[in-house]
Amino acid sequence: MKIFHRFSLSDFLLRFGESNVNIHPYYITFYGPFSISSHYDKNISVNRYKKILIICKKENLDSCKSLSNDLKNGLEGNNWRVYKGFNNIFRTNIDFQVVDYDSGNDYDPNKILSVYEDNYESKTFPLIVLPKTARSEIDSIYYRVKANFLNPELGELSSPTQIVTTDTLKNSSIYIWSLLPMAIQLFVKMGGVPYSLAQSPVTKERTLSGKISLHIIGLGLSRDPLNNKNYVGYVSVFDSYGVWVFGDSNVLDSNNVPTSFGEIISRYIKDIASKSSVQDHIVIIHYSGKELGRDDDEKIRKAIQEAKNSLGSRVIIFVLKINYSDLVLIDDSSEYQGKSGENSWYPPIGLTIKLKNNVYALSTTGTFKISNQQTKANIFRGLPTLLLVSRHIELENESNLDESNLDDLTLIRTVFAMARLNYVSVQNPMLKEPITTRYSREIAYLTSRVFRVSEKTLPENVKKVMWFI
């Protein structure tokens, strides 16, 4: 093994409002958001909402009134710098309302939905307070409530939701640092773009002629958790700056998964091409290898192959499989000391090791340094996370366009860049894996539950926002 490259956070700055750039997502509190609305559908805008409706049990009413006030107006005193208020940060005029209900000791998803329906006014976004549950628990109140609100039969009322746990409300130190990420996630689900990459990971100066469009697509294929015979496939589309375009997920035809999934993939790639002002297109596919057996991995690769065969020569495809690696990487030159005061041997974020041809290990957790600050680490417990990034050249199509030939380094740059788009924790400069594949389990669970409730796909208005974060 040898070091292939070391990516630096400073090479992947974030862009905020009025073209301001910075390395840290926290600077949204100074610069404001990159965009109040979708760049691809101006009808999808945070400004279409008038209020955020906070729904909680009666026993949590006082805490939720405080949450409403803090979310809207910001924290007081020295904590103002931590969170300055939703409307202040995002340049919006959103109101907040709290409504409580009494359902005994249980959290009833149907009761919660009925409270929302009874208090719904046009342009309302729901925030719901629930107990903390494991994200791996398919039958949890978390997934049941979210799926109920995504039901397409609700019509205009169908909506993504923001869930806040009772544990967060009870723990003041967690609560204070949760408000900004909470607000960012609300903003994203309402249709805004908090920040983008300041520069495309595939730069025109180095690689493209400027006459070729570039999109990065995340794919995932999972067993339906409610019916192990079925599969759920998802497609998420981002532009070259990491800005969300649209996405879709569906329960697939179990008799022919590659064909039905391949049709979804090709449909959305063709949609990208049809809306572009240029003729030639590059599509870089990140597909999630998490929890995929050999047979399932073969299905997703066949789906990509079938999609590619229907696209023609003007669409150039590159394919990267992204999975967690069992390798453990240590840096014996590291001087970073953990909480114990002992040397941690954590590797630097961005370190890339070439394992063999077209196969690389990429460090997304480890040590990092911003400007002149002291060295930090984004590992809270356990060992550093390494991503295994495999390029599938056999799934790529040949091109006569010299500008479209992307090398391994450029393709791995897209993985590192998309992991910079963290909307969950502003204290962490990186996700463990790129946003293109990060939410595959959540998407599968929610899609399966929505289909179980209505036997329909997600509503069109929901597909145009990042409903799953």
Q: Specify if 443 maps to a domain.
A: yes
pLDDT of 57 strictly over 70: yes
Q: Could you tell me the pTM of the whole model?
A: 0.93
pLDDT of 207 strictly over 60: no
Q: Specify if 37 maps to a domain.
A: no
- Residue at a domain's end among 190, 214, 241: 190
Q: Which residue has the tokens 């909680």?
A: 56
State whether 295 and 437 are in the same domain. Answer: yes
Q: Specify if 9 maps to a domain.
A: no
Contact 411/430 with Cβ under 8 angstroms?
A: no
Dihedral sign for Cα atoms in the order 227, 229, 230, 234: positive
- Residue at a domain's end among 190, 213, 245: 190
- Residue at a domain's end among 190, 210, 233: 190
Q: How far apart are CA 136 and CA 142, in angstroms?
A: 10
State whether 179 and 207 are in the same domain. Answer: no
Bin 388: left if φ > 0, else alpha if -120 < ψ < 50, else beta: beta
Q: How far apart are CA 346 and CA 365, in angstroms?
A: 8
Percentage of the chain beyond pLDDT 70 is 95
Q: Which of 118-122, 189-193, 407-411, 451-455 has the lowest mean pLDDT?
A: 451-455
Q: Specify if 7 maps to a domain.
A: no
Mean pLDDT of the 441-446 span: 84
For residue 183, the enclosing domain spans: 46-190
State whether 217 and 365 are in the same domain. Answer: yes
Domain with residue 440: its CATH number is 3.30.420.10
Bigger pLDDT: 86 or 294? 86
Rounded to the nearest integer, the mean pLDDT of the chain is: 88
Contact 376/338 with Cβ under 8 angstroms?
A: no
Q: How many domains does the chain have?
A: 2
State whether 441 and 326 are in the same domain. Answer: yes
Could you tell me how many helices (H) and strands (E) the chain has, helices first? 12, 18
Mean pLDDT of the 314-342 span: 80
pLDDT at residue 434, as a whole number: 96
DSSP state of 129: E
Contact 123/157 with Cβ under 8 angstroms?
A: no
Measured distance between the N- and C-terminal CA atoms of the chain, rounded to whole angstroms? 36
Residue 390: partners with Cβ closer than 8 Å, 6 or more residues away: 289, 320, 321, 323, 358, 359, 360
Q: Which pLDDT band holds residue 337 (cuts at 50, 70, 90)?
A: low
pLDDT at residue 404, as a whole number: 66
pLDDT at residue 61, as a whole number: 96
- 50, 103, 332, 355, 379 from 182: Cα distances, Å: 18, 26, 37, 39, 21
Mean pLDDT of the 119-139 span: 90
Q: Specify if 212 maps to a domain.
A: yes
Q: Specify if 460 maps to a domain.
A: no
State whether 178 and 294 are in the same domain. Answer: no
Q: How many other β-carbons are positioned within 10 Å of the β-carbon of residue 209?
A: 12
State whether 368 and 266 are in the same domain. Answer: yes
pLDDT of 402 strictly over 60: no
State whether 175 and 202 are in the same domain. Answer: no
State whether 181 and 202 are in the same domain. Answer: no
State whether 121 and 205 are in the same domain. Answer: no
State whether 213 and 186 are in the same domain. Answer: no
